[in-house]
Amino acid sequence: MDSIKQAVELARAAEVHRPGALSGSALAAEGPLQRSAESPFNEVRLRADHLEANRIVAHGTSGQNGRYYDMLRTQVLQEMDKKSWQFLAVTSPTAGCGKTVTACNLALSISRLPERSVLLVDLDLRRPAVGNYLGISGTGGVLDVLEGRAPLSSSVVQASVGPNNILVLPGGVSSNSSEWMASQTMGAMLQTIKRDFRSRIVIFDLPPMLLGDDVISILPRIDAALLVAGIGNTTVADIKECQRHLQRTPVIRVVVNKSTETVGSYYGYY
């Protein structure tokens, strides 16, 4: 616990000096993918029980844990709006810190705001999990787009929960994650996303920063980052190392995840 406290202090100190930073089980979805007359995308309705089993809780308005994501959402949007940023990366030092859980919850929380919409892109080609956590199966994904097998429009899924929905570009596993991240093809895909989804906040679920050069390669194409530190997963040295690589990318927040210190919640933010 001492180490995580130190990490938080370190992160705070770094943020104060950073321009643009705030101080501070693959179950099937409810039905098969469908295409309706209203939406140009394949559509799927997400199941609340499946989401909750995967710690995705921000689709509804009730619950303490969901409210933490709403607070995170507000901070993220305030900072992004101020700078007219569109692309947000969610990353962490190492695996298992809670990137995917954070990215999915943040996306759903933003989608509950009127006049806000989100595209969630799974760019963790090492260990994609967005599709599994949300319960989206039977669809291609980002690799189909990168490898030229499918256009973006037929790979994006419109995932609805209650009256709200998010667009999702699910991931795929590649042994060439690092090469893809640095590729012109990736650059072109991101430009297409920027053009075609101009009105949406785009959240990228990235691989861990310290397992390769994947994240470092793609950061110049991203506006801002959330760094998810997992208690029990992340050391002070890990955070320091990440900050070295994040010199030119504003870190909106360091999310301290898996805190057991906050009573009645399994998420703790400082």
Binding partner of residue 101 among Mg ion, ligand ADP, none, CB cut-off 5 to 8 Å per kind: ligand ADP
For ligand ADP, which is the closer residue by CB, 54 or 243? 54
Shortest separation between residue 185's beta carbon and ligand ADP, angstroms: 24
CA 154 – CA 6 distance, rounded (Å): 46
Question: By Cβ distance, which residue is nearest to Mg ion?
Answer: 100
Q: Does 269 bind ligand ADP (CB under 6 A)?
A: no
Shortest separation between residue 98's beta carbon and ligand ADP, angstroms: 4
* CA distances to 89, 151, 250, 254 from 220, in Å: 11, 24, 11, 19
CA 129 – CA 180 distance, rounded (Å): 18
Q: Does 97 bind Mg ion (CB under 5 A)?
A: no
How many degrees, rounded to 5, is the angle at CA 77 between CA 236 and CA 247? 40
| Helix runs in the chain, H state only | 2-16, 48-53, 64-83, 99-111, 130-134, 142-146, 152-155, 177-182, 184-196, 214-218, 236-245
Shortest separation between residue 15's beta carbon and ligand ADP, angstroms: 21
CA 84 – CA 104 distance, rounded (Å): 22
Binding partner of residue 200 among Mg ion, ligand ADP, none, CB cut-off 5 to 8 Å per kind: none
Q: Which of residues 102-131 bind ligand ADP (CB under 6 A)?
A: 129
For ligand ADP, which is the closer residue by CB, 42 or 59? 59
For ligand ADP, which is the closer residue by CB, 101 or 107? 101
Q: Does 96 bind ligand ADP (CB under 6 A)?
A: yes
Q: Does 100 bind ligand ADP (CB under 6 A)?
A: yes
CA 259 – CA 111 distance, rounded (Å): 25
- Which residues are at the interface with ligand ADP (CB under 6 A)? 55, 92, 95-101, 129, 257-258, 266-267
